[in-house]
Structure formats: C-alpha cells, structure tokens
Structure 1
Amino acid sequence: MNLIEHKNEALTRLRVTTRAAHERVDEAFSHYNLESKISYISFLKAHAKVLPLVENWLKSFQNLPEWEGRSELLRHDLASLQSDFPPTLGWARRTEEGAALGGLYVIDGSRLGAKFLSSRLGAGFPSSYLSAPQKKGSWSRLLSEIQTQMVDKGEAFQDDVIAGARAVFELFYESALSEME
C-alpha cells in the first residue's frame, strides 16, 4: 500500500466509523421546519446549546488547523428573531488533541450542510449562521491535515479523532432532541 492509499484509508475510517452518528444528527435536525419562525428559532437554539461549547473547547488546543468560529453569527440570528441565546449543554470535555481534531471535523463539516439548509429558510429570516462564508479550499485543507495527522500519529490518535467526532455529533443530537420537546 502506498502513502496516498494509507492516508485515504485513515480518512475513510473516520467517515465510516462516524457515519451512523452523523446520520442520526441529520435525521434529528430534519424534523425542524425552517420555513416556520418558531421551528427555525428552535433549530438555532439547538445549535446554540452546542456550538459555543465546542468552539471554546477547540480554542484550548494550540496545534489545530486554522478554523473560524460561528457562534457570534448564531447569536446575531437569534437576536434578530428576538430570541435569547440559550445556555450551553453540560459536557465532559475530552483532553486529547486528536479528539479536538475530530470535533473540528464535525463543526467545520457542518458548514457544508448549512449552505444547503439556508436555501430552505422562510422569507426574510436571518441567515448569518447558515450562510457563513468559508475560505476557499479550507475544507479540503482540513481533510488533508486530518489525514496526515491520523497517519503520522498512529492508531491511538485515530481512535481519539473518532471519539472526539462522535462526542460532538452526540452533543448535537441531544440538543436537537431537547429543542423538539
């Protein structure tokens, strides 16, 4: 197996082992009607209970690839809808650098789905959060960095990346359900 195949294998492992958690989150959030103001506010609040928590956690790691937070955009959209910003969920933060890389994979990857969802918003709804611009090539650079680190740092590091991604997916899932009640 050559180096490129080995790198792709690491990223494939991340995608495959987190697919079920990712699909669960997508399914939970698919129940929100983004054309309804009340439902859209609940959707944003579900994100607001998690995103600042994860972004603050990521800021505690010095060696992560470059990323841009979106919590303030989320705060802006909720304020535009005359809604309070909810408190974040409780969470036992992982301390491994690999886990943080997995968390970054989840929140940065969510930008891709957000662009699609922004096209489903009700007329006149604020969309700073969902339509946040992403620097050209940043997603592919992040994936490349994840691949490289997963290969270079070994299987235990890969396990940490996967565990971190799963933990963040689980937070979003729990939050999605909490706002549907």
Structure 2
Amino acid sequence: MRDATRAAHDAVDAAFGGYDLSKRDDYRRFLVAHARALPAAEQALGALAFARTLPPRAPLLEHDLADLGERMPAPLPFACTDEAGLWGALYVVEGSRLGGVMLARLVGSDLPHRYLAAAHGPGQWRAIREAIDAAGRDASAEWYDALLSGAAATFDLYAQAARLGEPALAPV
C-alpha cells in the first residue's frame, strides 16, 4: 500500500506543507482544510465494522477549531462505498494519525492540538494493517484495485480540501 500510494501521499504532503503550524492563522487554515475532508471520510468509514471500533477524530478537530473561534466547514462530498475501497480509505485516514503526531510537535504551545495529538494506542496501527491484510486475504485482483482506488480517492479528498483555500467562516 505504501509504495502504491506514495505519489498521492506526497501530493497531499506538498499541499499542506506550506502551513506554519506555529502561527495561529496558518494553523487555523490547516485545520479548516482538514475539517473539509476528515468528517466525510469518517462518515463513509462508518460502513466498515472494523472502522467503528476506532476512535473518531472529527470531534477533536471540531473542538480545536472552536478554541480558535471557528466552526466546522461543510465537508466535501466523498463517495467511497465498496468494502475494498473503504479499507483503502481506512489506511489513509488512520495512517494520517502517524503524521499528525509528528506535526503536533510543530504546533504553537498556545494553540489547541487535540486533533493532531490523537495518537494510536499501543499496537493499534499494527492491528489496523493486519485487519486490512486479513480483509484482502484470498481476494481478487479487482479487490486490490478497489483497495488502491479507495486510498487514492481519500488522498484526493484531502488534496481537494487543501486546494479550496478558506471560505468566509462565521466566528463561533
């Protein structure tokens, strides 16, 4: 998965790489962009029983935005419905927790960082990868194609959110 999604992952990293997370306004805009993508992805993942066992991060993101005087923006549409595609989406959404923990270290000490600091519990990332592997065990080539398509669609969701810029948001 990692090798197959590298280009999409790099594109998302580049799209979000210009934000200085130590600065309030940059960090707020970073969170607003994530808030356009994460809730849509987490809602879609609700169709996957395994994903429902994992703690959602959208509420943490909403709290961080509220602390910054912002409301959650409307989420972007995300239509990933087949099971294999959802496993691919899960890989991206939960993999982003790993990067989030590293990014949390860059957030200004006076800024809320519940969302980025929401790390996996001990062994949780391994369990997620094992669940993805188990779901694909004995699967067809089409299943793997759908898995990668779901991951690509999720990376694209985040890239699209980053490209949108910031609409006028009403203060809380």
Deviation at 1:111, TM superposition (A): 0.5
- What is aligned with 2:131? 145
Aligned mate of 2:122, from 120, 125, 136: 136
Distance in 1 (CA, whole Å) between partners of 2:82 and 2:61 is: 27
Distance in 2 (CA, whole Å) between partners of 1:60 and 1:72 is: 18
Deviation at 1:63, TM superposition (A): 5.3
Distance in 1 (CA, whole Å) between partners of 2:48 and 2:65 is: 28
Structure 2 matches for 1:93-108, cutoff 5 A?
Answer: 93-108=79-94
Say yes or no: does 1:37 pair with 2:20. Answer: no
Aligned mate of 2:150, from 164, 174, 180: 164
- What is aligned with 1:81? 68
Distance in 2 (CA, whole Å) between partners of 1:64 and 1:48 is: 19
Query: How big is the alpha-carbon RMSD for the aligned residues of Structure 1 and Structure 2?
Result: 1.6
Kindly, what percent of the aligned residue pairs are identical?
Answer: 36
Instruction: Say whether the 8 Å CA contact 2:46–2:52 is kept in structure 1.
Output: no
Instruction: Say whether the 8 Å CA contact 2:24–2:108 is kept in structure 1.
Output: yes
Deviation at 1:150, TM superposition (A): 2.1
Letter aligned with residue 51 of structure 1 = L
Letter aligned with residue 74 of structure 2 = P
Say yes or no: does 1:54 pair with 2:35. Answer: no
Query: TM-score with structure 2 length normalisation?
Result: 0.91
Query: TM-score with structure 1 length normalisation?
Result: 0.87
Deviation at 1:45, TM superposition (A): 0.5
Deviation at 1:65, TM superposition (A): 7.4
Distance in 1 (CA, whole Å) between partners of 2:130 and 2:45 is: 19
- The superposition leaves residues 99-139 of structure 1 with CA deviations (integer Å, 9 ceiling, x where unpaired) of 00000000100000001100001121000000013221110
Aligned length: 167
Q: Structure 1 64/80 Cα, relative in aligned 2: closer, same or farther at 3 Å? A: closer
Q: Higher helix proportion, which one?
A: 1
Letter aligned with residue 43 of structure 2 = N
Instruction: Say whether the 8 Å CA contact 1:32–1:43 is kept in structure 2.
Output: yes
- What is aligned with 1:3? none
Instruction: Say whether the 8 Å CA contact 1:65–1:142 is kept in structure 2.
Output: no
Distance in 2 (CA, whole Å) between partners of 1:52 and 1:177 is: 17
- What is aligned with 1:10? none
- What is aligned with 1:4? none
Post-superposition, which runs of at least 4 consecutive aligned residues in structure 1 deviate over 3 A? 62-66
Distance in 1 (CA, whole Å) between partners of 2:65 and 2:108 is: 14
Q: Which runs of 5+ in 2 are unaligned?
A: 168-172
Letter aligned with residue 44 of structure 1 = L
- What is aligned with 1:28? 15
Distance in 2 (CA, whole Å) between partners of 1:31 and 1:157 is: 35
